[in-house]
Chain A
Amino acid sequence: MREKQRYLLVEASSAIGTTDPKEFGRSLYPELRKAIGELVYHRVNPKVIRVMPGSRFVIKSALQGNPDLVLALALTKSLAGQRIGFYTLKSSGTIKALLKFEH
């Protein structure tokens, strides 16, 4: 059975510096794991889908883990040694709706 996903449009307080979702994910996932905790992380299962030029990105999670991801992003204040803040702007069940909001 395919698990339901939830997509989040997130803005960072400063430029992300890359548009590669894998590269950005490698630095973001450990910070999220630290905030959520290892036992809950599997339920959230976050994955960076798209990084827009500038400071916005789209991240998906399992539907039931979405509130934990919103919290984890609020608690994450540093990334690769740099101080940063993440603001969740919109949540949607489809990536299409988020990109509509973005434009």
Chain B
Amino acid sequence: MRPTCSFETGFEKRLGFARILSAGKDFAESDIDQKRGAVATLAIGSDESGLIEAVKRGAKAVVISDLTIGKKLIETMKANGTVLCLPMSMITETYGDRRVRNTYKMSKLFAYAKKQGLEVSVVSMAASKESMCSYMQLIQLARLIGAEERYARYSLSEVNRIFGRGS
């Protein structure tokens, strides 16, 4: 979730998670479209060269804000073992045509990244308590974009491994 999101103690257990990780608190994130060259666990942006640079600098996960990926970025991510994170807030927090377009683009990106051999993970990236999802809902959202249930469960458990130790 984003740093703007807060909740009471015990909320994560009710949602079905052992822990909910917060960007900026539990791990470092950087918006590479605004600040290039920063070292962070999670790199967010749409500029391919900036993302490649972030991956080379040690980013463990990447969020592509325009949901389009180039071959060069895929190769760099594969070589460095970087995970592609798909933020479900782009589906849950949008409406109408935008939601439809984001769902379509995300499902295409998921299929393409999987085909290319990238590890893909589903994250909520919730900016507020209302936009958070339970474990059950994240599984169904992952299925909506084309993941098998088994893979969705695996990818959710992997999030802790990727970000759990911080940066």
Q: Which A residues are within 8 Å of any B CB, using their own CB?
A: 11, 13, 67, 70-71, 73-75, 77, 83-85, 87-89, 91
Contacts and interface: CB of A to CB of B under 8 A. Distances in A.
B137 A87 contact: yes
A77 B14 contact: no
A83 B130 contact: yes
A89 B15 CA distance: 6
A64 B143 CA distance: 15
Given A70-B137, A74-B137, A77-B92, A85 B130 contact: yes
A88 B134 CA distance: 6
B91 A75 contact: yes
Given A75-B99, A85-B129, A89-B16, 8 more contacts: A13-B129, A71-B137, A75-B92, A77-B131, A83-B130, A85-B128, A87-B14, A87-B15
Interface string B51-75: 0000000000000000000000000
B136 interface: yes
Nearest to A91: B136
B137 A73 contact: yes
A73 to B, nearest CB: 7
A87 B140 CA distance: 12
- Which of B16, B131, B140 has the most CB atoms of chain A within a 10 A radius of its CB? B140
Given A77-B131, A87-B15, A87-B133, A67 B93 contact: no
A6 B130 CA distance: 24
A71 B144 contact: yes
A13 B92 CA distance: 15
A70 B136 contact: yes
B147 interface: no
- Which of B14, B93, B133, B136 has the most CB atoms of chain A within a 10 A radius of its CB? B136
B132 interface: yes
B14 A11 contact: yes
Contacts of B137: 70-71, 73-74, 87-88
Contacts of B93: 77
Contacts of A89: 14-16, 134, 136
Given A71-B141, A71-B144, A75-B91, A85 B14 contact: no
Contacts of A13: 129-130
Contact of A77 (B130, B141, B144): B130
A74 B141 CA distance: 8
Interface string B114-141: 0000000000000011111110110011
A23 to B, nearest CB: 22
Contacts of A73: 137
